[in-house]
Structure 1
Amino acid sequence: MTEPSSIRDRNGLTEQEYLQAYDASIYERPSVTVDMLIFTVLNKEQDNYRKLPEKSLQLLLIKRGEHPFIGQWALPGGFVSVHERVEDAALRELKSETNIENIYMEQLFTWGDVERDPRTRVISCSYMALVDRTSLDIQAGDDAADAKWFEVAYHVFQEKKTNLDHGYELEKLLKITLRNGLETVSATVKIVEVVSGRSTRVSREVVDSQGIAFDHAKIIEYAIERLRNKIEYTDIAFNLMPPLFTLSELQQVYEVLLGKELLAAAFRRKMASMVIETNEFTKDAGHRPSKLYRFNPNWNRN
């Protein structure tokens, strides 16, 4: 069999000759960036210490210290250099902007709308991670004015379905609200799902943004939807838990991520293979001691 490198093309060139003559400037090159969504679950402040603390889903944001969108809040991220792996760029930017390192992140989606960045044509690879905040030391880096956790809330406030000849179009307007102390930022995202036969097409658009930079509101919305889907069939939620936890705490985390209450008995049956019972108990003042559990890394092999 003839080696591909020795085959000549229609211009009579071998692969080596072709590459030596190749002009990379023929095609305009877009820039590539990375954006990271770092989620955690925290206890809400409350007056009655005898109650089990309510939990909230929180997202790490950085305040931009430079143009564009200076002073607005954005996902941690930055540009990928020419000789750098995309994954390495994500880890590097996360460390430089928030002081977070040594965490596992999975790629979420690639965003490529033409005018998503006012500086130039930018394609962004987004990554997502769930972390136990108690193990992190958050600090704003050189190119970020601040880094903070924001409580995440969102709801669909308008929905319209239109029947088509071979399917339907579903349009939803969704409000995202992010709060940190006295500071609140928000955005409205329009999601249009068109189903035609076996084909489904989904588009997202930020129709209004108050304090959230770039198109990051729709990245956040997509990440939350992806997260809600993944916790139903993976162990991703355990990344939010400390080494030892109660089943009530674990259930609260699932309820926060799913945005709904769960029946305790059914939840405990579902978690039975994913947790290992220990001989330790909680020692919180004002609370009855509860059995502590840990994650079972071999649950999916049972």
Structure 2
Amino acid sequence: MDKELLKDKDGLTEAEFLQRYDVSMYERPSVTVDMLIFTVTNEEKENYRKLPEKSLKLLLVKRGVHPYIGQWALPGGFVTNDESVDEAALRELKSETNIDEVYMEQLYTWGDVRRDPRTRVVSCSYMALVDSKSLEVKAGDDADEARWFNVRYSVVEEKKTMLEKDFVFEKTVKITLSNDKDILEGVIRVIEKYAGKAVKVAREVLVSDGIAFDHAEMIQYAVERLRNKVEYTDIAFNLMPELFTLSELQQVYEVTLGKELLSAAFRRKIANMVEETNQFTKDAGHRPAKLFRFNPNWRYV
């Protein structure tokens, strides 16, 4: 049946209903996007013979306006009426890093009623993984500066409570963000309630030192998602340049997962994900090492 002929209980067609619809009937919250932009960079070499250590970094911007003026926040902004949420996220990514052809995924929607002191704001958080060599970071209009922070993630306490039939699992996570000028800290309690097949997860910020809004929660969630996906997908290659050594790749996996890996087991795991090239490194003081590239067809090998 033609929907243009269908009428509702008031005898209106869809076109008539839309023409009379009052948009002021419901309060409309503002919608924002917040970007968790991760990269991996080399730390300073102690001497020319030692391979540089790698560090997982997150991009933050220092707020130049109220609220939370002077504190550090995830880059982001409000979604306009003429763009989708994904388009807003891409716009913010481009404005902060000057790049757009990168891995990006939507993580979670944050809707606590009091998460923003200005008004009712719902935020969609996105994670982007970028190769540090392609970045040109700059601060947006409402920020004083944009800087990379080293990410340290540690579980400081875990507790499991058995109920009559179900159980509750709690963990307390400490996030430390640092660079040569600033040290920020967030402590988040994650509560997972298991009832049969259903799981309810709640988060509570216990400490948010220098981190604006509820962004400490967002960072904890993003690091956890990143670690989980690195374990079973090829997502880590989005942090790599086109050519890399297997040792460099292993370092990126280790710094992302927060643990050391056995070289033999690691190389078996990624064997199908990489392709050999005929090129070698040319670093002074090191033996030449074979360079590899990502194999996009590894799933079919």
TM-score range, shorter chain: over 0.9
| Structure 1, unaligned runs of 5 or more | none
Q: Per-residue deviation at 1:223?
A: 0.5
AA at the equivalent of 1:184? I
Whether the aligned pair in 2 keeps the contact of 1:76 and 1:98 (CA below 8 Å) is: no
- Is 1:239 aligned to residue 235 of structure 2? no
Q: Per-residue deviation at 1:102?
A: 3.6
Q: Per-residue deviation at 1:94?
A: 2.7
How many residues get paired? 301
Inter-partner Cα distance in structure 2 for 1:39 and 1:266: 26
Whether the aligned pair in 2 keeps the contact of 1:96 and 1:142 (CA below 8 Å) is: no
Q: Per-residue deviation at 1:96?
A: 3.1
Over residues 208-239 of structure 1, what are the superposed CA-to-partner deviations in whole Å (9 max), with x where a residue is unaligned? 11100000011011011101111122111011
TM-score (norm 1): 0.96
State the secondary structure of the residue aligned to 1:116.
Answer: coil
Whether the aligned pair in 1 keeps the contact of 2:103 and 2:238 (CA below 8 Å) is: no
| Structure 2, unaligned runs of 5 or more | none
TM-score (norm 2): 0.97
Q: Per-residue deviation at 1:244?
A: 0.8
Q: Per-residue deviation at 1:10?
A: 1.2
Match of 2:121 in 1: 122
Match of 2:204 in 1: 205
State the secondary structure of the residue aligned to 1:231.
Answer: helix
Q: Per-residue deviation at 1:98?
A: 4.4
The 5-angstrom pairing of residues 169-248 of structure 1 reads 169-248=168-247
Whether the aligned pair in 1 keeps the contact of 2:174 and 2:187 (CA below 8 Å) is: yes
Match of 1:147 in 2: 146
- Is 1:296 aligned to residue 298 of structure 2? no
Match of 2:35 in 1: 36
Q: Per-residue deviation at 1:95?
A: 3.0
The 5-angstrom pairing of residues 154-169 of structure 1 reads 154-169=153-168
Q: Per-residue deviation at 1:140?
A: 1.6
Match of 1:105 in 2: 104
Q: Per-residue deviation at 1:48?
A: 2.9
State the secondary structure of the residue aligned to 1:276.
Answer: strand
Match of 1:135 in 2: 134
Inter-partner Cα distance in structure 2 for 1:175 and 1:6: 59
- Is 1:12 aligned to residue 7 of structure 2? no
Match of 1:286 in 2: 285
Match of 2:255 in 1: 256
Match of 1:85 in 2: 84
Percent identity over the alignment is 68
Whether the aligned pair in 2 keeps the contact of 1:36 and 1:94 (CA below 8 Å) is: yes
Name the stretch that deviates more: 89-98 or 129-138.
89-98
Inter-partner Cα distance in structure 1 for 2:175 and 2:109: 21
AA at the equivalent of 1:199? A
Whether the aligned pair in 1 keeps the contact of 2:172 and 2:188 (CA below 8 Å) is: yes
State the secondary structure of the residue aligned to 2:12.
Answer: coil
Inter-partner Cα distance in structure 1 for 2:37 and 2:126: 8
Inter-partner Cα distance in structure 2 for 1:242 and 1:102: 13
Q: Per-residue deviation at 1:99?
A: 3.5
AA at the equivalent of 1:202? V
Inter-partner Cα distance in structure 2 for 1:138 and 1:197: 47
AA at the equivalent of 1:277? E
Whether the aligned pair in 2 keeps the contact of 1:185 and 1:211 (CA below 8 Å) is: yes
Over residues 147-182 of structure 1, what are the superposed CA-to-partner deviations in whole Å (9 max), with x where a residue is unaligned? 011000021112221101222111111111000103
AA at the equivalent of 1:91? L
State the secondary structure of the residue aligned to 1:82.
Answer: coil
Whether the aligned pair in 1 keeps the contact of 2:102 and 2:238 (CA below 8 Å) is: no
Inter-partner Cα distance in structure 2 for 1:141 and 1:226: 27
State the secondary structure of the residue aligned to 1:105.
Answer: strand
State the secondary structure of the residue aligned to 1:137.
Answer: coil
CA RMSD of aligned residues (A): 1.2
Inter-partner Cα distance in structure 2 for 1:293 and 1:67: 47
AA at the equivalent of 2:256? L
Whether the aligned pair in 1 keeps the contact of 2:97 and 2:135 (CA below 8 Å) is: no
